[in-house]
A and B are shown apart, each in its own frame.
Chain A
């Protein structure tokens, strides 16, 4: 995946680039808004990571300019400004996601990959799905039924929603914050890792009694629905 990182703090940009390269992505770096805008406009990227505070042209203006020229590359804003207002501002300017510093690298990686998928899916056109399937796990969104390997599994409404989000992002890492956002629609950090408890509940029903577990813990990052053979 090709990613452009526009970040003026050189050490953190370098670390980010190294981490992303190690995760198998190709990275371009820009340390100011103008260079970043030029690179973004002349190359084809899968995701742009844009710091809000940049020397010269600030991050918001870069993205506004890109959007005005019809460039729809997914954008992840990075910011030290955490207020809700700033987040809303960023999303209004054309950003697709917003991450507040200091962030965990795993959180950044997970969000970048989620954005890249979404960008690719949008390219193929919106498809109304009525069922989701991954490996031997199937979910019918209309009758709200879940079965694995032909066996019917009963889920609570919230467990159903949690599994649906994991299925929609199968193969990707979903962080706890992302799950709280997508399943409960809240953005805050609970004092206790409450998501872990929900996942372990879901695991009891999805993986218990089967030889191959599907829900995997990604250390220091979050969870991922993945089959051992790596089927996407």
Chain B
């Protein structure tokens, strides 16, 4: 059984090493169990496996390669693996871009690897909350940080549209203020401040910016928001110099499944921070 899978996966990796006859033989002997098992072997089952495949740190059966194995970090194996790590139903990533990326990360002189603890990657989760009778989705940005001897994921930032519009300066901001003699009237003009809606922030200290995590926490604390479930997760990688890619989990039939590259961008100078800000919805 394992032999078949191994053969099959090797044939995936090295499509020209097996002639058509053998191929048909294997196909015709497949039971549904074997077919399913094959797709589970092919699936990139964990983000951890994505990283190990990207780096060629495991064999086709998912068994870790020892660092003195000739296949460990082998650029040929990496080329084959990384080619499989793309969502092949995504036509927005051109073949040219894909091969430029693969060639860049596998070049013998300067290979580029992924490192779980290397930073410059983060998660984006879409979480469903109940807000009264309303169902809302809030994006939580998850960051891996070191603590003591180990590490942990923390909520680094959030994105929730209503929190975004709490305050913004506009053309009229300059004319909204409490005049310097308001104190003589016991600040009776605060009335105007609290009727100003979106502009209330104009009356706060200079440089004020609403802290979204604090508002989020407050709403959780007073049960305005109630956690429902995580409806989706993706990860953004900026670890490879000059590149950005995003990975998403695909739960679908076939062999191209699991954690796959769903977006790839070649970064020009200065683009990296802009893109990070864009993902975080930061201005």
Q: Do A and B come from the same complex?
A: no
Task: Report B's interface with A, CB cutoff 8 A.
Answer: none
Task: Report A's interface with B, CB cutoff 8 A.
Answer: none
